[in-house]
Structure 1
Amino acid sequence: MPGGLVALLDDVSVIARAAAASMDDISVAASKAGTKAAGVVIDDAAVTPSYVTGLSPKRELPIIWQITKGSLKNKLLILLPGALALSWFLPQAIIFILMLGGAYLSFEGAEKVMEKLEGEKHGKTLEDKIENPAKFEQQRINGAIRTDLILSAEIIAISLNEIATITDSFWVRAAALAAVGIAITVIVYGSVALIVKMDDVGLHLAEKPSALAQSVGRFLLAAMPKLLVALSFIGTIAMLWVGGGIIVHGTHEIGIDVLYNLAHGAEYWAQGVLPGAAGFAGWLAYATVSALIGLVLGAIIAFVLHKVVHMGHGFGKQAEAH
């Protein structure tokens, strides 16, 4: 009996050590995956505030909470099971899904650049008079959740691709993906909530009798528009950098090395020019070339969608009229 108890305790200790090792694996995998997905996370945080801009301040936090819940459903109930099934049954398809997402991010980033240069907006604007506030609010929430689904799919795909290089365990992959999804959602939408309420905090402080509080309040009120502009700029750069980088890596994986050699050639050149800051110089050169590749690819896609397809629709309508 004592021997059986000792054996049982030994088995329990083995299981406990295995569980601890698995948690360590999950932590390492989640950390590495989250770092790789950072560019898309920045874009997600930069894009989301636009969905509550112009709405009642009282509705901002409830709307962000609705979007947060939708984001968690996207990641945990739709994308995570799909990604795990794909990695189990058809892992070779992951790289093509990544490249499709990279092309989409490149298109989104290039479209924003084109809008700035051309001074026009693509698609519908939200400047019309709001006839039904509740319906309008729900449309904004649904639009944000759809955008989140696309960005979350890219985050999950990037994370899975990274986690797959660390562990073959199905459960470790699942736990690491869930950890990445939850952590990123909390970080992104927590940050968004702080950003959109910054002006309210500033206004509140500006009305206080304390000179220090008033000074901080005025600073927050003045900083808010600049912060939103900076986030928009950073988000655009992040989309192009991440999108182009995914295309560079993906084409290399399928045996096409032109873009890969171009990006890494620039990286090695920059490291040689600035040996004292080789790491940063190489990263900056690689990221810049990746962003330019993303910009060119995205501009081609945008041109096809907005010019060629639109022209084809115009010819179709003329033919129907005749």
Structure 2
Amino acid sequence: MAGSSLLALLDDIATILDDVSVMTKVAAKKTAGVLGDDLALNAQQVTGVNADRELPVVWAVAKGSAWNKAILVPSALAISALTPWLVTPLLMLGGLYLCYEGVEKLAHKFLHSEAEDEAHHAELTHALEDPSVDLVALEKDKIKGAVRTDFILSAEIIVISLGVVASAPFMTRVMALVGVGIIMTVGVYGLVAGIVKLDDAGLFLTRRTGDSGWARFQRGLGTGLLKGAPYLMKFLSVAGTVAMFLVGGGIIAHGISALHHGIEGLAHHAGEVSVIGGLLGGLTSALANIVVGLVAGAVALLLVLAVQRVMKRGGKAGASNTNG
């Protein structure tokens, strides 16, 4: 009897772990948009940090990210247990924020002048060269800023993951969200550490001496890493932005029944094309979600800009009345 009970328990555990594994994979795919942007943003956060301090800074931000998820995961589980009706609105809000962030990135060159970007870069360069500047304080500010950015991105990841596992049993939700949190933290910051050290690795390889084929190969590889690192950063940024529209638009479309069914209908018709129907159907669905994401993000950005303009006018009017 005890033996059969133990076997039944092990079978239940195996079933739960299998469910967790499947849902964790689905949740990880759903958060691809945030992940790509997370990589690019966090790799950029260590720009301007001395080379020997890059990894300690990444480690400090990774620890902050772990604390963020330690706060967010229980909060998400509490919401799903006590107020499950909030999951869909939060998911939609997270999707809208993804789209807004993507459009804001696209509109950056119109919203911020080159002079502003150059001034920011010059400020960082001056800080590194000026011996009177407290580099420890500068580093701490960078870490705090990166952890704040991570909190927003982590919240998006957890909310999207929660939407995937919302209907699962409570323990499955717990294990899936914890699994996603661990995988995303270790994966993102492990990759960030590798990315920020690509140039150092390339420089090390270019200094290899010798005339052997192996030495020449290492120098060639080092040169390739030095030249390719900036392009990798650009690729991550572009891929992350596209994925933000794809994932965010998909979340919004899924939450609006008529829109969701309309996209499904388009994809179904495209899928009926002979030979390339499967590929065409998938592309149609993806492009439709991207368009939804672009439109939603543009509307959100316009609203934010309108609110900011009204607040500035109100502030100026208040200052005028005070002076008068």
What's the TM-score once normalised by structure 2's chain length? 0.86
2:155 to 153, 156, 159: 153
Distance 1:240 1:111 in 2: 12
Distance 1:310 1:109 in 2: 24
Q: How does 1:1-322 map to 2 (within 5 A)?
A: 7-75=1-69, 77-120=70-113, 125=120, 127-128=122-123, 129-130=126-127, 131-165=133-167, 167=168, 169-209=169-209, 210-252=215-257, 257=258, 259-260=259-260, 263-264=263-264, 266-268=266-268, 270-271=270-271, 275=277, 277-322=279-324
Is this contact kept in 2: 1:64–1:193, CA < 8 A?
A: yes
Distance 1:79 1:276 in 2: 38
CA deviation after TM superposition for structure 1 residue 127, in Å: 4.2
The range that moved more, 85-94 or 121-130, is 121-130
Residues 12/102 of structure 1: CA separation in 2 closer, same or farther (3 Å cut): same
- Secondary structure of the equivalent of 1:54? coil
Letter in 1 for 2:61: I
Question: Number of aligned pairs?
Answer: 308
Gaps of 5+ in 2: 128-132, 210-214
Letter in 2 for 1:310: K
CA deviation after TM superposition for structure 1 residue 297, in Å: 2.5
Residues 241/148 of structure 1: CA separation in 2 closer, same or farther (3 Å cut): same
Is this contact kept in 2: 1:203–1:218, CA < 8 A?
A: yes
Gaps of 5+ in 1: 1-6
Letter in 2 for 1:175: M
Residues 205/301 of structure 1: CA separation in 2 closer, same or farther (3 Å cut): farther
Q: Deviation per CA, 1:7-42: give whole Å up to 9, x if none.
A: 222221211111111111111121111111112111
Q: Report sequence identity in percent.
A: 38
Distance 1:177 1:203 in 2: 40
Residues 201/107 of structure 1: CA separation in 2 closer, same or farther (3 Å cut): same
Residues 310/268 of structure 1: CA separation in 2 closer, same or farther (3 Å cut): farther
Residues 261/308 of structure 1: CA separation in 2 closer, same or farther (3 Å cut): farther
Is this contact kept in 1: 2:268–2:281, CA < 8 A?
A: no
